[in-house]
Amino acid sequence: MTDRLSPDLDEQAREILRGNDRGGYTVPTDGLYPYQWNWDSAFAAWGFSTFDIDRAWTELETLFSGQWEDGMVPHIVFHKDDPGYFPGPEVWGSGRTPPTSGISQPPVAAILARLIWARDPEAGRDRIAALYPKLLAWHRWWKRDRCGSGVAAVTHPWESGRDNCPDWDIGMAKVDGSNVGEYQRRDTGHVDASMRPRKEDYDRYLAILFFGRDCGWDQREIIRNGPFLMEDPGITFILLRAHEDLAAIGRELGHDVSELEGWAAELRAGVPQLWNPQVQGYDARDLRGDGFAGRVGSAAFLAYLADAATPALDKRMDEIWNRVSYGFPSADPAAEGFDPRRYWRGPSWPVVNSLIALGLQERGHAEAAERLRRETAEVIKKHGFFEYFDPIDGTPCGGDAFTWTAAIWLTWAG
């Protein structure tokens, strides 16, 4: 697809967003991901806001058309059936219209909605006012159904958005994937299998999914007895920032935001429990018994976004980042399990880089923020709008003409 695009990169990025538009929502990339994904859509909206503010708001509105009555905003909304992706709507069995998955994804929507609103306060006022109660209900869901231990936990690696990163290895090791039966993956028909999660990961992803589906997505049961439950520094920092941004939005709209302020304060008080002195960084924790994961990946550095960084984290950032050349690696190259091209086990992800850089910039690390922007821009200029990149040699990986890579080009990297 890249060959047919305009020679101007800004225009190429806009063409990708328009090309992946399926009418009110954007697919992450053609073929590999034919549905609406939660955090991808929030980035898509941010990208659209640079040239079509109305379309930006529509993206978020369509995403929230999949919201559940308990407030959860699912990680996939299956607007139109497509055999090109597995597991599709019939596997998730949500029993809803539109059909959806049964888990959520990183709540970046309020953070990006605030930035979108700032681009055109007039045009956005009614749109954000209508979205506000829906965002609030989703944040309440996170507080009630995921933050019971003091920070945010995920019930499935897919919920973290960082599917096969080494953070989840200890939790995944306890999941029995031996009884999921035969199934046909579709992802490896679209992209190089060596850049995707392995079969043993997929077996376990399905086992966790089946548990949720078989109990009718009963959140209490999933939290109490589900096969996987781990605290996630990534979602914790994103949610903390999102609570604060949603409170700012609410204040501007004249709402009482004390509830949101309370959730943010509680979450902030929980952050120190994620600090693992052994690895000198924020670390995932297994709530099914095994303690810290012993890994410092890109999620730890989302702490800047939530004003939760420490001098020790600054030091850790330098060490890890200096082991690569093209943006922040999703896993530490010096740690066990690092793989520079296998999805979230090492590659540099432009979207995550954009969030880390936003935090760095705000916290007075302008030079580091600019380095992250430069390194991310360099691989995009060299190779195109790929899903992710090898952080050591810049090799493009995964899907091409990717929506969120195009979006962060328009808003930040370009």
CB of 185 to ligand 9WN, least distance (A): 9
Q: Based on CB atoms, which residue is closest to ligand 9WN, 187 or 244?
A: 187
CB of 228 to ligand 9WN, least distance (A): 15
Q: How many Å apart are CA 221 and CA 53, to the nearest integer?
A: 41
Phi, psi for residue 25 in degrees, rounded to 5: -145, 160
Candidates 59-67, 137-145, 157-165, 174-182; binding stretch for ligand 9WN (CB under 6 A) = 157-165
Q: Which of 14, 75, 146, 345 binds ligand 9WN (CB under 6 A)?
A: 75
> Of the residues 163, 245, 283, 332, which is catalytic?
163
Q: Is 375 labeled as catalytic in the residue annotation?
A: no
- Which token pair is 375? 């390194």
Question: How many residues sit in the footprint of ligand 9WN (CB under 6 A)?
Answer: 10
Alpha helix stretches (DSSP H) within 322-401? 350-362, 366-383
Q: How many Å apart are CA 388 and CA 352, to the nearest integer?
A: 10
CB of 318 to ligand 9WN, least distance (A): 26
DSSP state of 356: H
Q: Is 387 labeled as catalytic in the residue annotation?
A: yes
Q: How many Å apart are CA 247 and CA 220, to the nearest integer?
A: 27
Q: How many Å apart are CA 238 and CA 236, to the nearest integer?
A: 6
**Interface with ligand 9WN, residue 39, by CB under 6 A:** yes
- Which token pair is 371? 């380095």
Residue at shortest CB range from ligand 9WN: 28
The 16-35 site mask, x for binding ligand 9WN (CB under 6 A), equals ------------x----x--
Q: Based on CB atoms, which residue is closest to ligand 9WN, 347 or 394?
A: 347
**Interface with ligand 9WN, residue 327, by CB under 6 A:** no
- 28, 386 contact by CB (below 8 A): no
- 326, 390 contact by CB (below 8 A): yes
Which residue has tokens 């099914």?
288
CB of 224 to ligand 9WN, least distance (A): 24
Q: Which of 31, 71, 124, 161 binds ligand 9WN (CB under 6 A)?
A: 161
The 171-190 site mask, x for binding ligand 9WN (CB under 6 A), equals ----------------x---
**Interface with ligand 9WN, residue 282, by CB under 6 A:** no
CB of 168 to ligand 9WN, least distance (A): 12
**Interface with ligand 9WN, residue 158, by CB under 6 A:** yes
Burial class of residue 68, CB neighbours in 10 A (0-12, 13-18, 19+):
middle
Longest dimension (CA), the chain: 55
Q: Which of 21, 59, 145, 163 binds ligand 9WN (CB under 6 A)?
A: 163
Please give the single-letter amino acid code of residue 257.
V
SS3 per-residue string spanning 170-215? HHHCCCCCCCCCCCCCCHHHHCCHHHCCCHHHHHHHHHHHHHHHHC
Q: Which of 30, 40, 59, 400 binds ligand 9WN (CB under 6 A)?
A: 40
Is it true that the peptide bond before 347 is cis, omega within 30 degrees of 0? no
Q: How many Å apart are CA 164 and CA 366, to the nearest integer?
A: 31
> Of the residues 159, 387, 390, 400, which is catalytic?
387
CB of 71 to ligand 9WN, least distance (A): 20
Please give the single-letter amino acid code of residue 317.
M
Catalytic residues: 163, 387
Residues that bind ligand 9WN (CB under 6 A): 28, 33, 37, 39-40, 75, 158, 161, 163, 187
